[in-house]
């Protein structure tokens, strides 16, 4: 896996916004699954920081990686607690990498499934 993408995914899982910011270009473009677009490192990292502040028990699981040189596709699952449920979202994320930084990120959702969280006795 491309080093910037690996750092990005590790930083995302750890909520390490400084590390994530170091591997995205200053003019990064992020295209989200709902037509939401963020341009620039500061705007994008702020969006992530604010979004993740609301998530409970975030977990990132990587299923598959396609490395085509300057473009990578990562199939992954993000899971969060949502009320009494656990929400699992499967997606593919396309990364463009140039000169050691991520220049573009496009997120494509596959499914979102809610499952009841196990109750502790």
| pLDDT digits 0-9 by tens, 50-98 | 999 999 999 999 999 999 999 999 999 999 999 999 999 999 999 999 9
Q: What is the mean pLDDT of the chain?
A: 95
What's the fold here for domain 3-116?
Nuclear Transport Factor 2; Chain: A, (3.10.450)
Gap between the Cα atoms of 96 and 103, Å rounded: 6
Instruction: Give the Å distances, CA to CA, from 74 to 23, 92, 93.
Output: 16, 6, 5
Mean pLDDT of the region 100-121: 90
Gap between the Cα atoms of 116 and 94, Å rounded: 30
Rounded to two decimals, what is the model's pTM? 0.92
Mean pLDDT of the region 111-121: 83
Instruction: Give the Å distances, CA to CA, from 96 to 10, 89, 105, 110.
Output: 17, 22, 7, 20
Helix/strand/coil for 42: helix
Gap between the Cα atoms of 28 and 63, Å rounded: 25
Task: Look at the alpha carbons of 106, 109, 112, 117 in this order and tell me if their dihedral is positive or negative.
Answer: negative
Task: Look at the alpha carbons of 66, 60, 21, 6 in this order and tell me if their dihedral is positive or negative.
Answer: negative
Domain residue spans in the chain?
A: 3-116
């Amino acid at each position: 896996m491309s080093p910037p993408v690996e750092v990005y995914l590790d930083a995302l899982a750890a909520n390490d916004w400084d590390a994530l910011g170091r591997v995205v270009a200053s003019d990064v473009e992020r295209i989200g699954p709902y037509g939401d677009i963020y341009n620039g490192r500061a705007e994008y990292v702020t969006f992530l920081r604010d979004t993740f502040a609301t998530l409970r028990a975030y977990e990132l699981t990587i299923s598959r990686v396609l490395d085509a040189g300057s473009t990578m596709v990562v199939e992954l699952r993000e899971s969060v607690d949502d009320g009494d449920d656990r929400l699992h979202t499967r997606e593919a994320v396309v990364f463009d990498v140039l000169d050691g930084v991520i220049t573009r990120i496009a997120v494509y959702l596959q499914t979102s499934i809610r499952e009841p969280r196990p109750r502790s006795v």
